[in-house]
Amino acid sequence: MSAPKSSGGSFAPLRQPVFAVLWAATVLGNTGSFMRDVASSWLMTDLSAAPAAVAMVQAAGTLPIFLLAIPAGVLSDILDRRKFLIAVQLLLASVSITLMALSHMGMLSVSALIALTFMGGIGAALMGPTWQAIVPELVPREDVKGAVALNSLGINIARSIGPAAGGLLLASLGAAVTYGADVASYVLVVAALVWWPRAKDANDALSEGFFGAFRAGLRYTRASRPLHVVLLRAAVFFAFASAVWALLPLVARQLLGGDASFYGILLGSVGAGAIGGALVMPRLRQHFGADGLLFGSALVTALVMAALSLAPPQWLAVVILLFLGAAWITALTTLNGAAQAILPNWVRGRGLAVYLTVFNGAMTAGSLGWGAVGEVAGVSGTLLIGAGGLFVAGLIMHRIKLPAGDAGLVPSNHWPEPLVAEPVPHDRGPVLILIEYQVERQNRAAFLHALDELSHERRRDGAYGWGITEDSADPERMVEWFMVESWAEHLRQHKRVSLADADVQGKVLAYHSGAEKPVVRHFLNINRPGKVSA
């Protein structure tokens, strides 16, 4: 059942009942997660005063996201996404139940807290790509970017409420009650997912296994030029912008003379700015487009970094960080929306997982790099260097336009079924596909140019080798060839070809001058007894 057509506006996606319910449940779930994190961080300071132990809690929560994002994306594409999300929520609830029980009995240790935090990080890693991948199922295509912005808004609402609520519960009622509140939030999320009337995935004889899906996702990533642009823009922006996040604690302490509570106020200011930015972003998008928004985010972030390097008064720093929050959510939403818009459903989870890996990798590497620069140039100097680098990078990257994301990604189903003399086992392969064209000499250059674009489509959708040859006796007769690892994978190619891909193939076929359509032949590998295939 298709969702109703959007009428526009910042909150248009919330007019879709399923999205509204799941969005509200996600806000509550994230609020509970932030409450859990506050309790865990504070308990660790009680269990051990060693800085390394305290830092391990943060590392244990974020490391799985970097390590498991891509495998999680594979699972989100090959499993029923609703059931998968329910299973992950139950995993996270079991972690919080264990924390609640151990803290209530006074049996929580440093090793147990770190191990359970790591398990929670695994759950977060598994959940991230799938939550993002279901967005196009919940709203009309024209509301996808707005839904992404609302998801970012929801995270910032939870970030603003969760730590404060967690701190109040922890101080007044103890850690067990705080963890119990997190458990309750998972109950609400699971209830919303159970209520979601998602259509069952059709039984598919060509369903992918984990490792095959993993390889297919990597092939798609290597061959998708639009995705390369999004990943490049994201890596450059976050690598430079990470300077302000890496140094913000030192900015609060050394440059602004604040304490821990003032640092919390600064983070709250960022969250409030992000909420405001999410509200005005739809109007800004209409005037400036995705590229203008991303360049504006880079410019504002650079100006914030430069202003902070001057050690402004504390009240002014709080105001300045409102703009950082608005710029940050604008960049996150713009890049995430661009990735969502170019990924077909069959590979959306894997593509978004690669994006999340690049994002986390750029933030991690950037933070380490800016920390090293800070040892030499100091906090103020490093902020100025980062601001200058981000501004220059923004100018350069602005010339590399983000993909519009308006291509038709619905399967076209225009490829005819391959002719076979007898049923072919799905695991038989590799498969060699030959397509014979007749191209007049004057159209040769234009044909090869169109075929170059088609080659990326072939590789993106499953081919691991591709080429074009000509007949030595008749140069106007050309044969395109590509190889696929199995018969099942080639049949999946038939289902993956989208309406946009059909248009590309139409350009190629326009140069075929034969009386009939190009001849397509399929050749299967022969495994001879006692022989090792090359």
Residue whose tokens read 């079924």? 417
Q: How far apart are CA 331 and CA 353, in angstroms?
A: 18
Residues 6+ apart with CB under 8 A from 139: 3, 6, 13, 16, 19, 146, 147
CA 267, CA 258: separation in Å to the nearest integer? 13
Residue 521 predicted with pLDDT over 80: yes
Distance (Å, whole) CA 317 – CA 314: 5
User: Average pLDDT of 502-527?
Assistant: 88
Q: Widest CA span of the chain, in angstroms? A: 88
Rounded CA-CA distance 512/418 in Å is 20
d(CA 455, CA 72): 28
Q: How far apart are CA 305 and CA 300, in angstroms?
A: 9
* pLDDT confidence tier of residue 534, bands split at 50, 70 and 90: very low
The DSSP code for 7 is -
Q: Give tens-digit pLDDT for 418-443.
A: 878 888 888 888 999 999 999 999 99
CB neighbours (10 Å) of residue 79? 17
What residues contact 1, with CB distance under 8 A and at least 6 apart?
Answer: 199
Note the pLDDT of residue 3.
Answer: 42
**Measured distance CA(389)–CA(376) in Å, rounded:** 17
Q: What angle do CA 450, 453, 458 make, to 5 degrees?
A: 120
C-alpha to C-alpha distance for 267 and 307, rounded to whole angstroms: 17
Per-residue model confidence as pLDDT tens digits over 89-146: 999 999 999 999 998 888 888 888 888 888 888 888 888 888 888 888 888 877 877 7
| Intra-chain end-to-end CA distance of the chain, in Å | 48
Distance in angstroms (rounded) separating the CA atoms of residues 393 and 385: 12
CB neighbours of residue 246 within 10 Å: 21
Q: pLDDT band for position 201 (50/70/90)?
A: low
If residue 202 lies in a helix (H) or strand (E), which one and from where to where?
Answer: none
- pLDDT for residue 496 is more than 80: yes
Please report, for residues 43, 358, 389, 529, the alpha-carbon distance to residue 534 in angstroms, rounded to integers and kept in the order given: 59, 35, 49, 14
Distance separating alpha carbons of residues 304 and 313, to the nearest angstrom:
14
User: Any idea what the Cα angle at residue 311 is, between residues 42 and 55, rounded to 5°?
Assistant: 25
What residue ranges define each of the domains in the chain, with the CATH number in brackets?
10-197 (1.20.1250.20), 210-406 (1.20.1250.20), 431-524 (3.30.70.100)
User: Does the structure show a pLDDT above 90 at 235?
Assistant: yes
User: CA–CA distance from 72 to each of 117, 221, 234, 240, 492 (Å)?
Assistant: 18, 15, 20, 27, 21
| Candidate ranges 125-134, 199-208, 326-335, 348-357; pick with highest mean pLDDT | 326-335
- The rounded mean pLDDT for the chain is 84
Please check the confidence at residue 249 and state whether its pLDDT lies above 80.
Answer: no
Q: Residue 45's CB: how many other CB atoms inside 10 A?
A: 12
Q: Quote the tokens at residue 458.
A: 């072939």
* pLDDT for the residue 157: 80
pLDDT digits (tens, 9 = 90+) for 336-383: 888 888 888 888 888 888 888 888 788 877 877 888 888 888 889 989
Cβ neighbors of 81 (< 8 A, separation 6 or more) are 130, 133, 134, 137, 198, 349
Whether the per-residue pLDDT at 49 is higher than 80: the answer is: no
Buried b (16+ CB within 10 A) or exposed e, 430-456: bbbbebbbbbeeeeeeebeebbeebbb
Using alpha carbons only, how large is the chain's radius of gyration in Å?
A: 26
For residue 47, pLDDT beyond 80: no
State the Cα–Cα distance between residues 266 and 287, nearest whole angstrom. Answer: 30
Is there a contact between 198 and 19 (Cβ–Cβ < 8 Å)? no
Which of these ranges, 56-65, 229-238, 296-305, 335-344, has the smallest mean pLDDT?
56-65
> Which stretches within 106-203 are classed as H helix?
110-133, 135-138, 144-173, 175-195
Higher-confidence residue of 205 and 524: namely 524
